[in-house]
Amino acid sequence: MTSLTSSKRLVVKIGSSILVDEAKGEIRRDWLDALTRDVAALHRNGCEIVLVSSGAIRLGRTHLKLPSGALKLEESQAAAATGQIRLAHAYQEALAGHGITVAQVLLTLDDSEERRRYLNARQTMATLLGLKAIPVINENDTVATDEIRFGDNDRLGARVAEMISADTLVLLSDIDGLYTGDPRSDKNARHIPEIREVTPEIEAMAGVAASELSNGGMVTKLMAGRIAMAAGCRMAIADGRAVGALGAMIDGTARCSWFLPEASPLSARKKWIKGSLKSSGTLVVDDGAVRALSSGKSLLPAGVTSIDGEFKRGDVVDVKDKKGHTLARGLVAYAAEDARRIAGRKSAEIEKLLGFRGRDEIVHRDDLVVE
């Protein structure tokens, strides 16, 4: 039985239908207390955790006294604006009791699609995790239109897992995994504990959302599975309705469906860097940098002797030695103009040279593929 104890970087997606009491339109405090207790236990053991939580619109509509049923776009956005404050405060209050700092991050689809916004969001979350905070993420429903919406937090959770190179994604929902049919109507439906590829046959097993509080359903969970597995991240679909549901996953006693990729998160990311993107420039490095790269270290400005091409922060560049041999390819942390200013200089001089403090590395080792 797979458990969460081996996870180093974990994303947990929490659905509205399990966090919010449908009749009262209020947060299930006993459920949230148990969740944060289990999150804190993982956190103490060194696991970096991100929570992707639905519930803002449902909480907001209660306090704005909006009627049941479908809401107009502007009503949903107003409900999100009201409910997001209550949602964030609930997590802050629950985790503060364990001495954990909470950070709120609101994203739209564009933030995961547009290259520079993606890099900014990834760097912000990496910094928060490095500072031992727990980001609580939701879709930015207040400003998102249909064109820039995820529409469900299953796929948002998967994109976040991809963005931060998480090794595990857990979708806490109202079903304990994938079945060969709909278990509510098919008594012969069989639970599938392990999926290693999302085939057309697997996709045909997907059902539809059964709750007014949920925009998802098995279709979006399989889409999330595709994204996560392509990023080298394992994913679990688990029934999160019971108090202590995450604890059962930590113990390895929860029944769920695991989507298991072939590659690790970092190797999948580096494969993408190497094969999917066109180089926008070249960094030529000295012998010291060649040795550093061959031993798995980041590329520092001090090791760069010259720069060719015009590129922006986050673009792909080739790294070459003095003889023109390509050593590596990576995502550059500075635009070409800034990179030229700091080339050959120590990282401690970056702020003085540029007027702002960026990354110490011109290409970080996590964003670097050595040939």
Asked if residue 2 belongs to a domain, the reply is no
260 vs 262: CA distance, rounded Å: 7
Q: Is 210 helix (H, G, I), strand (E, B) or coil?
A: coil
Give residue 114's pLDDT: 74
Same domain, 306 and 260: no
The DSSP code sequence of 65-93 is: TPPSSPPPHHHHHHHHHHHHHHHHHHHHH
Mean pLDDT of all residues in 228-242: 95
Point out which residues pair with 52 in neighbouring strands.
13, 137
In degrees and rounded to multiples of 5, residue 234 shows phi and psi of: -75, 150
Whether residue 351 has pLDDT greater than 90: yes
Question: How would residue 152 be classed by pLDDT, with cut points 50, 70 and 90?
Answer: confident
Which residues form the domain of 218? 9-266
Q: Which one-letter DSSP state was computed for residue 177?
A: S
Same domain, 170 and 198: yes
Q: What is the dihedral of CA 55, 61, 64, 69, to 10 degrees?
A: 180
Asked if residue 28 belongs to a domain, the reply is yes
In degrees and rounded to multiples of 5, residue 112 shows phi and psi of: -100, -10
Same domain, 142 and 31: yes
Same domain, 244 and 284: no
Same domain, 67 and 189: yes
Point out which residues pair with 9 in neighbouring strands.
48
311 vs 359: CA distance, rounded Å: 17
Same domain, 281 and 261: no
| Interval 167-182: pLDDT, tens | 999 999 989 999 988 8
Question: How would residue 215 be classed by pLDDT, with cut points 50, 70 and 90?
Answer: very low
164 vs 33: CA distance, rounded Å: 26
Give residue 207's pLDDT: 55
**CATH for 15:** 3.40.1160.10
13 vs 152: CA distance, rounded Å: 11
Give residue 153's pLDDT: 87
Same domain, 186 and 282: no
Asked if residue 161 belongs to a domain, the reply is yes
| Other CB atoms within 10 Å distance of the CB of residue 127 | 11
Whether residue 147 has pLDDT greater than 60: no
Whether residue 343 has pLDDT greater than 80: yes
Asked if residue 181 belongs to a domain, the reply is yes
Of 5-9, 209-213, 318-322, the least confident:
209-213
Rg (CA), the chain: 22
Cβ atoms of 76 and 145 closer than 8 Å: no
Asked if residue 4 belongs to a domain, the reply is no
Same domain, 91 and 194: yes
Same domain, 218 and 241: yes
**CATH for 317:** 2.30.130.10
Q: Which residues contact 85 (CB under 8 A, 6 or more apart)?
A: none
Residues 88-125 as b or e (16 or more Cβ within 10 Å = b): bebbbebbeeeebebbebbbbbebbeeeeebbebbeeb
Average pLDDT over the chain, rounded to an integer:
89
Question: How would residue 219 be classed by pLDDT, with cut points 50, 70 and 90?
Answer: confident
| Interval 15-69: pLDDT, tens | 988 999 988 889 999 999 999 999 999 999 999 999 999 999 899 999 999 988 8
Give residue 266's pLDDT: 82
Same domain, 153 and 84: yes
338 vs 254: CA distance, rounded Å: 51
Same domain, 254 and 283: no
Of 8-17, 68-77, 185-194, 225-234, the least confident:
68-77
Whether residue 209 has pLDDT greater than 90: no
Q: How many domains does the structure of the chain reveal?
A: 2
Question: How would residue 212 be classed by pLDDT, with cut points 50, 70 and 90?
Answer: very low
Whether residue 93 has pLDDT greater than 90: yes
Q: Which one-letter DSSP state was computed for residue 277?
A: S
Same domain, 248 and 287: no
Whether residue 210 has pLDDT greater than 50: no
307 versus 212: the higher-pLDDT residue is 307
Asked if residue 237 belongs to a domain, the reply is yes
Give residue 214's pLDDT: 39
Mean pLDDT of all residues in 301-322: 94
Point out which residues pair with 195 in neighbouring strands.
259
Give residue 88's pLDDT: 95
The domain boundary, picked from 240, 266, 292, lies at: 266
Q: Which one-letter DSSP state was computed for residue 147?
A: G
The domain boundary, picked from 215, 239, 266, lies at: 266
What sign has the CA pseudo-torsion 193, 196, 201, 204?
positive
Residue with structure tokens 């070459």? 320
Give residue 216's pLDDT: 53
The domain boundary, picked from 221, 241, 266, lies at: 266
User: Quick check: pTM over 0.85?
Assistant: no
| Interval 98-119: pLDDT, tens | 999 999 999 987 777 777 788 8
Give residue 149's pLDDT: 58
Give residue 302's pLDDT: 97
